[in-house]
Amino acid sequence: MRSKRIGAGAAAVTGVLLLGACGAGGPGGSDGDFTDGKLVLAVLNDQSGIYKDASGPNSVKAVRMAVADYQKKYGDRAVVDEIEVTSTDHQNKPDIANTKAKELYERGGADVILDVPTSSAALAVANQAKSHKKLFLDVSAATTELTGGQCNKYTFQWAYNTYMLANGTGTTVTENGGKNWHIIYPDYQFGQDMTKSFTEAIKRAGGTVQGTIPTPFPNDNFATFLTKAGSTNPDVIGTMQAGGDLINVVKQFNESGLRERGIDLAVGLMLITDIHSLGVDQFAGTMFTDAWYWNMDAESRAWADRFRDETGTRPTFEHAGNYSAALQYLEAVQEAGTDDADAVVGKLEGRRVNDVFLRNGEIRAKDHLVTHDAYLARVKKPSEVKEDWDYEEIVTTIPAAKAFPPAEASNCSL
Amino acid sequence: MNAVLQYAVQGLAAGSFYALAALGLAIIFGVLGVVNFAHGAFYMLGAVAAAVLLDTLGLTLWWALLAVPLLMFGFGVVVERLLVQWLLRLDPLYNFLLTFGLTLVLVEAVKQRYGVSGLPYKPPDVLSGRVELAGVVLPRYQLFVFLFSVAICVLVWLLMTRTRVGMIVRAATEKPELARALGINVGRWVTPVFGFGVALAGLAGVLAAPFRAITADMGNNFAIILFAVVVIGGLGSIVGAVVAGFMVGLVEAFGQAYAPTFAQILIFVLMAVIILVRPAGLFGRKEATA
C-alpha cells in the first residue's frame, strides 16, 4: 500500500518535471542565457509586523500581477518562460534582512530582490546586492542614503524618499502660510532623516523650524510632547511618526485643543492604510505627500480594481510601486535577453517610463533614483467620502523635477 | 510656572491611567503569586473588544465600560481554569513562561483576525473638547479618565480592605494554612480574583481606545511600563500600584517636557533608584499587609 503510494508520487513528480522540461524547450525558449533556466523575483518585506498592511503579502500579489502582464504581453516572444516569485519575511530587522538577502541571492537563485521597507534593513540588502552583483529594486524604504552616500550599481530606489516627502509637504505647507514649524520625530534613522529633510525644505520655502523634539520609539503617550511643541505657538506641528505611533500622535493631537488654537498638524509620511485604520474623521483636512493614489485617474483605478479582485482591498502606493518595479525589471530583461545583472542594469539606466505607477518617470543613470510625479494630498471630510477607501483629494501634482532632488546634487558615485 | 503646572496635571492624568492598568497586575500577583506577563495582552484585548463592539453592535464607550470588563472576567476565569491553575504550585518561572506564551498567542491571533494597522474608534461627543482652569488645559477625555480611574482605584481598595470578601481573599493568600484551619475554602477564591484582575486590564483597554492606537502590539510597550509601576510600588501592593502609577505618570510628563529622549528611560531610572533604597518597593509586602 505504502510503496504503491510512493510509486504514484514519483510518477507524478516525473510527469511534472517532464512538463517543465517541455515548457523550457518550447517556443521562444532561448533559456540558455538564464541561470537555472528561470527568472526568480524575490519579495523581501514585513509579512507579519507593523508594515504588513502597507506592503506585506499583497506586494507579492502585485508582483505576480506584473509577471502575468508580462507573460500576456509577450506570450511566445518572452525571452524566459519560467518566472518564479518568492517571498520572505525580514521582520523589519536589518540583521535578518541581511541574512535573508544573502540566502535569496546565493541559494534561492534570486535575480532581483524587491520591496524591503525599513531604511536600515534596505541598506543591509543594498550591501548584499552590491557584493553579489545582483539587482535590488527598493520600493518601500525612504532613506536618501540608498541613492546617496551608500548607493551602488545594483540598487535602485523606486517610489519615494525623505526628500520627496519633505519637499512636498514641507514646501507646500510653508508656501501656503504655515511659516513656523515645530517638529516631533521618533529618535531613529528614519525620523532623523525626515527631520533634516523637512528642516531644509521649510527653510528653502522661507519658513522657520522653531524647535524639534526627539521622542522615544515606540511610544504611546505623546501628550506632553505635544503641549511642549505647542508652547512656542507654531503655525504647524510636523510629526515624523509612522504607523501606530502616528495614530497615537493624531488621536492625542485632536484631543489637545491645539487645532482650535490655530495650530495645524502636518504628517511626514502617511499611507492610505493609516487613514483607513484610524478613520477618515480623525485625519480630515490633514495634508501629506503621496507617491501615488489608487483613485487619481481612470488608469490607476482600473489597476486598483484588478488589485481588489486579487486581494479584496485597495492598493497603497507601495503595492503599485512593487508592480511597477517588477514590470519594468521584466521589460529590461526582455530587452537584454538575459538575466545577467550588468546587462539588465544597462537597460534600466536612463530609461524613461510611464506606467500605472510612474508618471513622467525616469530611472536616473547617475544615482539610480527613480524620479516621477508626486502628489500633495488632503484627507477628505467624512461627508465627501463616496465609497470604501475613497479618502484622498489630490491638491496638486508635484512635477518629477521638483519632487526629487536634482541629479547634480547627488553625492552618489556608482 | 504655568507650564510646570500644565505638565504636572498631564502627568497626573496619565498616572491615574497607569495606576488603574497596574492594579489588576498587582492584585493577581498579590493573591495568586503569578507574575502575569499577559497583562498587556489583556489590556489590548479590552481595547480591541471595545472597537469591535462599537463597529458591530454600535455599543458606545459607556456600554463598553460595562460589557468589556464582564467579558474579560469570563475570559480570565477560563484562562485560570484551563491553564494557570495547573501551575500555581510550581516554581513561578512556569507561570512567567505560560503568560508570556499566552501573550504571543493572543497578539498573533488579533493580528491574524484584524490586521496590523489598527482599528478605528470614535469616542462619545460629550467627552470631546477641553477643560480650562487657571490657564491649565486638559482634554475633557483625559479628565474623565482621571476621575474614572481614581474612582475605580478607591473602590478596589475599599473592596480589598473593608469587605468580608476582601478580607477572606487576603487571609487565604497570606496565611493559607491558617485560613483553611478556620474553614475558609481557599481554592474557591483564586479563580474569581484572577478573573477580576483580567477584567481590570480590559477596563483600562476600553479607556485607552479613544486616545491610543488600537493595534495588536499596543500592549507590548505598555506592559513594560506597568511592570515598572508595580515594581516601584512593591509587587502585589494595591496602594503601591496606585501611588507608583502617579509617580510614573509625573516622571514621564516632566521627562517629555525637559529631557524628551530620556522620557521612557527615566521611568526605569526611577525604578532602579527605588529598588536600591527599598528592595521590596515603596509598599513592599510587609507594609502592604500590616
For A324-343, how does the pLDDT look when each residue is reduced to its tens digit (9 = 90+)? 999 999 999 999 999 999 99
Place of cell 516632566: B254
Is the pLDDT at A381 greater than 60? The verdict is: yes
Pick from A48, A255, A279: CB nearest B122: A279
Place of cell 478613520: A279
Alpha carbon dihedral A372, A154, A149, A196, in 10-degree steps, equals 40
Contact B73, B196 (CB under 8 A): yes
Evaluated on CA atoms A238, A243, A248, A253, the torsion sign reads positive
Average pLDDT estimate for A35-60: 92
Is the pLDDT at B289 greater than 80? The verdict is: no
Average pLDDT estimate for B180-191: 82
Is the pLDDT at A33 greater than 90? The verdict is: no
Q: pLDDT (tens digit, 9 = 90+) per residue, B230-279?
A: 999 998 888 999 999 999 999 999 999 999 988 889 999 999 999 999 99
C-alpha grid cell, residue B2: 504655568
Distance between CA atoms of residues A206 and A247, nearest Å: 29
**Of the ranges A218-227, B132-141, B276-285, the best mean pLDDT one:** A218-227
The amino acid at B193: V
The amino acid at A150: Q
Distance between CA atoms of residues B248 and B14, nearest Å: 9
Place of cell 490657564: B135
Residue B137: pLDDT band with limits 50, 70, 90: confident
DSSP state of A315: P
Residue contacts between A and B (CB atoms, under 8 Å): 115
Query: Which residue in B2, B219, B268, B252 sits closest to B104, CA to CA?
Result: B219
Mapped onto helix, strand or coil, the DSSP state of residue A97 is helix
- pLDDT at residue A25, as a whole number: 38
* Interface check B180 vs A, CB under 8 A: no
| Residue of chain B minimizing CA distance to A54 | B117
Range name among A241-250, A344-353, A393-402, B166-175 with the lowest pLDDT average: B166-175
* Interface check A279 vs B, CB under 8 A: yes
Residue B285: pLDDT band with limits 50, 70, 90: low
DSSP state of B119: B
More confident position, A89 or B175: A89
**Residue A4 contacts by C-beta under 8 Å, 6 or more apart in sequence?**
none
Distance between CA atoms of residues A220 and A228, nearest Å: 16
Q: pLDDT (tens digit, 9 = 90+) per residue, A93-146?
A: 999 999 999 999 999 999 999 999 988 999 999 999 999 999 999 999 999 999
What proportion of chain A, given as a percentage, has pLDDT over 70?
92
C-alpha grid cell, residue A275: 487613514
Averaged confidence pLDDT in chain B:
91
* Interface check B9 vs A, CB under 8 A: no
Residue A278: pLDDT band with limits 50, 70, 90: confident
Neighboring chain A residues of B7 at a CB cutoff of 8 Å: 224, 227
Query: Which residue in A237, A302, A241, A229 sits closest to A274, CA to CA?
Result: A241
- pLDDT at residue B115, as a whole number: 82
- pLDDT at residue A286, as a whole number: 87
Is the pLDDT at B288 greater than 50? The verdict is: no
Is the pLDDT at A24 greater than 60? The verdict is: no
β A370-371/A180-186 pair status: unpaired
DSSP state of A215: E
Contact B128, B143 (CB under 8 A): no
Q: What stretches of B123-163 show up as alpha helix (H) in DSSP?
A: 140-162
Is the pLDDT at A360 greater than 90? The verdict is: yes
Contact A53, A273 (CB under 8 A): yes
C-alpha grid cell, residue B258: 525637559
B117 and A277 within 8 Å at the Cβ level: the answer is: yes
β A83-89/A39-45 pair status: parallel
B142 and A277 within 8 Å at the Cβ level: the answer is: no
Cα separations (Å) of A363 from A114, A133, B18, B63?
Answer: 16, 19, 51, 56
Is the pLDDT at B30 greater than 90? The verdict is: no
Residue B173: pLDDT band with limits 50, 70, 90: low
Query: Which residue in B104, B90, B186 sits closest to A48, CA to CA?
Result: B104
Is the pLDDT at B77 greater than 80? The verdict is: yes
| Residue of chain A minimizing CA distance to B130 | A257
Residue A29: pLDDT band with limits 50, 70, 90: very low
More confident position, B232 or B90: B232
Distance between CA atoms of residues B159 and B238, nearest Å: 11
Q: Is the bond leading into A218 cis (omega within 30 degrees of zero)?
A: yes
Q: pLDDT (tens digit, 9 = 90+) per residue, A193-237?
A: 899 999 999 999 999 999 999 999 889 999 999 999 999 999 999
More confident position, A160 or B285: A160
Averaged confidence pLDDT in chain A:
90
Helix axes A243-256, A223-230, angle to 10 degrees: 60
Distance between CA atoms of residues A10 and A13, nearest Å: 5
Q: Which of A188, A255, A259 to mutate to test the interface with B (most CBs of B within 10 A)?
A: A255
Residue A334 Ramachandran class (φ > 0 left, ψ -120 to 50 alpha, else beta)? alpha
- pLDDT at residue A36, as a whole number: 84
B117 and A274 within 8 Å at the Cβ level: the answer is: yes
B120 and A278 within 8 Å at the Cβ level: the answer is: yes
- pLDDT at residue B94, as a whole number: 92
* Interface check A302 vs B, CB under 8 A: no
Contact A43, A114 (CB under 8 A): yes
Contact B110, B48 (CB under 8 A): yes
Q: Is the pTM of this model over 0.80?
A: yes
- pLDDT at residue B190, as a whole number: 87
Place of cell 495645524: A264
- pLDDT at residue B1, as a whole number: 65
More confident position, A36 or B108: B108
Query: Which residue in A379, A377, A378, A376 sits closest to A402, CA to CA?
Result: A376
Average pLDDT estimate for A74-101: 95
- pLDDT at residue A70, as a whole number: 97
* Interface check A232 vs B, CB under 8 A: no
- Exposed/middle/buried for residue B125 (C-beta within 10 Å: 0-12, 13-18, 19+): exposed
Q: pLDDT (tens digit, 9 = 90+) per residue, A149-202?
A: 999 999 999 999 999 999 999 998 999 899 999 999 999 888 998 999 999 999
